[in-house]
Amino acid sequence: MKPTITIIGAGAIGCLTALTFASHGWNVTLIDRSRLGGEASWAGGGILFPLLPWNYPDEVNEFVFAGTSRYAALCAELRDTTGIDPEYSECGMRIFPEFDARALAWCQAHGIPAELQNETLLLPKVAQARNPRLLAALKARLLALGVTLREHTELLPLQSETRRITAWQSKDGQRFSSDIYVVAAGAWSAPLLGEFAADVPIKPMRGQMLLYKLESPVFTEILYREDFYLVPRRDGHVLAGSTMEDVGFDKSATVEAGEALARKAAALLPALKHAPIVQHWSGLRPGSPDNIPLIGRHAGFDNLYLNTGHFRYGVTMAPVSAERLFEQVAGLN
């Protein structure tokens, strides 16, 4: 009999975890209290690169780069098997002044192609994917692989009197039983673990984003200045983000943040000054100390694993994070 696994949370992390286990022949159930990919994984920019790597510890950069290295093949496979194109591209990223000699030296020391151009630093290999399309393709792929997807099913905080979980209950009274459970509930991972969340220092960190629509694309590189970025999509849409706010589970999109983002956008790319803003949203990142995710078995249980806390880089880290979890569950390391 195939081993069974229940994954709670169908963001990028839950989806890639489901894909990895299903590809290894497991019987996978993927549960989300709303729709697949409706939270942070949808809200993000799809930049597959740290912002900026010379400000992060090696552990974060290595993890992000490992994730990035999987993306071209992952997106090609998703496109070929589902017909939905996640629009992966090595579009490059141009960093506007304020970068220091340290940045260029860091790139040279770490083998990241970089060139100085007109007082900007161009990183030509930085890539992006388009989140909503990536998630739609993942959904189609998971269903084709036979994953059982249960959307609109909210699991209650964990209750168990033994080290082995035998069932996890949903708000509407269903009981989910399996050999292994994985918490991939992003910013909501601690409340989901309830009284067993003591060693899980994950908290929501809000990020707001604006979406512009230009009649046709006027630039192709990601533009970056002072922790603010513009991400051009192929069809003239441009994302402008984002904020970093410690406001609990409040998912409002605020007028002040919207105005601040619009000011920065127009300053970085004057063509946006009069371009229509077609959407303004916020998402809750699963914040973790030093941006280091929790991947592995929960100390209190024999059959409960965590894959959460990816903070600013969960979309990028997702493929390699899923592989690492699989290796642990399968006893490969």
Residues binding ligand FAD (CB under 6 A): 8-14, 31-34, 38-41, 43-47, 154-155, 184-188, 192, 207, 209, 241-242, 283, 285-286, 308, 310-316
Residue 10 or 149: the one with the smaller Cβ distance to ligand FAD is 10
Q: Residue with structure tokens 């489901």?
A: 18
CB of 64 to ligand FAD, least distance (A): 7
CB of 212 to ligand FAD, least distance (A): 15
CB of 118 to ligand FAD, least distance (A): 25
Residue 11 or 85: the one with the smaller Cβ distance to ligand FAD is 11
Residue 86 or 314: the one with the smaller Cβ distance to ligand FAD is 314
Residue 100 or 248: the one with the smaller Cβ distance to ligand FAD is 248
> Partners of 210 in the beta sheet?
240, 280
CB of 18 to ligand FAD, least distance (A): 11
The span from the CA of 157 to the CA of 159, in Å, is 7
The span from the CA of 316 to the CA of 13, in Å, is 10
Instruction: Report how far apart, in Å, the C-alpha atoms of 7 and of each of 131, 309, 328 are.
Output: 20, 15, 15
CB of 1 to ligand FAD, least distance (A): 26
Residue 82 or 307: the one with the smaller Cβ distance to ligand FAD is 307
The span from the CA of 318 to the CA of 182, in Å, is 14
What's phi and psi for 322, nearest 5 deg?
-65, -40
**Secondary structure class of 12 (helix, strand, coil):** helix
**Secondary structure class of 117 (helix, strand, coil):** strand
Kindly give the interhelix angle for 12-23 and 314-329, rounded to the nearest 10 degrees.
Answer: 40
What is the token pair recorded at 255? 């007028």
Residue 4 or 270: the one with the smaller Cβ distance to ligand FAD is 4
CB of 138 to ligand FAD, least distance (A): 11
Instruction: Report how far apart, in Å, the C-alpha atoms of 189 and of each of 88, 136, 167, 202 are.
Output: 29, 23, 18, 7
Question: Can you give the C-alpha Rg of the chain in angstroms?
Answer: 20
CB of 214 to ligand FAD, least distance (A): 20
Residue 232 or 283: the one with the smaller Cβ distance to ligand FAD is 283
Q: Strand pairing of 180-183 and 4-8?
A: parallel
